[in-house]
Structure 1
Amino acid sequence: MLAITPTVRNLLILNILFYIVDSFVLKISNGFALMPLLSPSFMPYQFVTYMFLHANLGHLFSNMFGLFMFGPLLERMWGSKKFLFFYFFTGIGAGLLFSGISYYENIQLRNAVEFYLQQPGPDALADFFSKHAKALYESNLGFLNKFEADPTNVSYINDSVGFVKGWLQREINIPMVGASGAVFGILMAFGLLFPNTELFMLFVPFPIKAKYFVTFYGLFELYSGIKNAQSDNVAHFAHVGGMLFAYILLRYWRTKKTNFY
């Protein structure tokens, strides 16, 4: 087994240290996770810092395992500086794509909230829940039934306004963390540069060529992001963003052959 490369080693150490500090010493994710653009807590530097934070040990392990498995070969090929640039380029790009899509979704949600505040009522509230807050629909069926039976009740109207405002505040303050975007960029680069390398995956009884694995994984992440199940807390569009920005950068480097690895 080849020795781990310097930049990959340093990234592993930094991610592990940040996880330990965030979990057991000081909750640095409160200021350094990537917040949605509409959040009052958003800061531009979070496009970099979010990559070094992770939600739990499993999240950290899966990302660091991918970095450990696929990163060293790319670093040997490109050199440490180019590999580090690639890592940050894809990680920041992933954050940008995710933020752009979440901004669009949050603007739609904000508009829906403003519309509801102009015409609050049981039918409008049910419509809001079904389109923008499915997680609230079933848990508030009892309230909706009472609101429908007494639609002019001021207390019910005020409670409904609180529901929609609270949901907006929740959505615009959900942070994103993790090195997944950069790791998926590394995965994409590996698939493009070594397309016929056979990978042995856990629970799959036969080898899969890297090009097929990357294609399937990318399509799965795109589908998952579009489906956007509200019970799913995985930032699929960040994964897609990492792969997309990796593809763009590799295509650019290929046009500059004197600068490519």
Structure 2
Amino acid sequence: MKFNLTLILVAANITLFIAQALIPGFTELFSLTPSIAFSGAWWQFLTYMFMHGGFLHITINMFVLLMFGFPVEASLGTKRFAILYFISGVGSALLYMGLTYLVMPGDMEVMMLGASGAVFAVLTAYGFLYPRNIVWIIGFFPLPAKWAVIMFAGLELFLGLTGLEPGIANFGHLGGIVTGALLMLWWRRSRGRISYKGFRDYQFIWE
């Protein structure tokens, strides 16, 4: 049976979400708190991607990961897909901390958790690979994939700067988009081959 990282990531997220509900202190230990992470809890830069703040949070992230992860992994290959996912997750955290420190330094002690940054990177890669494919935002607003990525980047920047969406790591979402775009641009410039499988399916994003 062919190894599929997308399914493994979904299974891992669901398993650890159950662990969050059953094990006291599990969420605090593995979510990303900047001051704690920089004091030696370096693992939080990776493990925070597998923590979620509630059923709706993980449901949306896993739905989007399933929708876009399969075609992106098929095109990039599992190795590059893994690099995209985890490097973008770390990049998401770093950009979140940097921009938050500049705009809202008081939030540096707030826990960051969720796969959203890495998932936004997967969506960004889809926009690079299949720019003309239609993405349905909230199920009824169609956009070509590349414009959906640009729209989300602008929206997350606006929400992050204005603070209109408290409790949401908008700069983390933006960090995933930026890191994912940089990786795709790097691979596009390199001689490494990327397969375009010709996926024409409509995709949906719920935000």
Question: Smaller-chain TM-score range?
Answer: 0.7 to 0.9
Aligned pair 1:241/2:136, yes or no? Answer: no
Aligned to 1:187: 123
Question: Compared with structure 1, are the counterparts of its residues 40 and 256 closer, same or farther at alpha carbon in structure 2 (3 Å cutoff)?
Answer: closer
Unpaired segments of 5 or more residues in structure 1? 110-170
TM-score norm. by structure 1 comes to 0.68
The runs of 4+ residues in structure 1 deviating greater than 6 Å are 38-42
Q: What amino acid is aligned across from residue 233 of structure 1 in structure 2? A: G
Q: Would the alpha carbon gap of residues 9 and 238 (structure 1) be closer, same or farther in structure 2, given more than 3 Å must change? A: same
Give runs of aligned pairs for residues 191-202 of structure 1, distance below 5 A. 191-202=127-138
The aligned counterpart of 2:52 is 54
Shift of 1:43: 2.0
**1:118 — aligned with what?**
none
1:174 maps to a residue whose letter is V
The amino acid of 1:185's aligned partner reads A
Pick the structure with more helix per residue.
1
Q: 1: CA distance between counterparts of 2:135 and 2:74?
A: 19
Out of 216, 220, 226, which is 2:155 matched to? 220
C-alpha distance in structure 2 between counterparts of 1:40 and 1:214, whole Å: 31
Between Structure 1 and Structure 2, whose CA radius of gyration is higher?
A: 1
Displacement after TM superposition at 1:25 (Å): 3.1
- 1:181/1:238 contact within 8 Å kept: yes
Task: Quote the residue 2:190 is aligned against.
Answer: 256
Q: Could you say if the C-alpha distance between residues 249 and 200 of structure 1 is closer, same or farther in structure 2, counting changes exceeding 3 Å?
A: same
- Partner SS for 1:67: helix
State which of 41, 44, 47 in structure 2 corresponds to 1:43. Answer: 41
**Sequence identity (%):** 33
Deviates more, 1:176-185 or 1:192-201: 192-201
Unpaired runs of at least 5, structure 2: 196-207
How many corresponding residue pairs? Answer: 194
Corresponding position: 1:31 with 2:37: no
> What is the root-mean-square deviation in Å for CA atoms of aligned residues?
2.2
Quick one: structure 1 residues 194 and 45, their matched pair in 2 at CA, closer, same or farther if it must change by over 3 Å? same
User: Alpha carbons of 1:256 and 1:29: their partners in 2 closer, same or farther (altered >3 Å)?
Assistant: same
* Alpha-carbon spacing, 1:190–1:23, altered in 2? closer, same or farther (3 Å): same
Distance 2:169 2:104 in 1: 15
CA positional deviation for 1:257 = 1.9
Q: Which amino acid aligns with 1:57?
A: F
Aligned pairs for 1:1-80 (under 5 A) are 6-37=4-35, 43-80=41-78
Deviates more, 1:183-192 or 1:35-44: 35-44
2-structure distance, mates of 1:39, 1:255? 34
Greater CA drift, 81-90 or 35-44 = 35-44
* C-alpha contact (below 8 Å) 1:34/1:42 kept by paired residues: no
Instruction: Report deviation, 1:55.
Output: 0.3
Per-residue deviation at 1:39?
A: 7.7
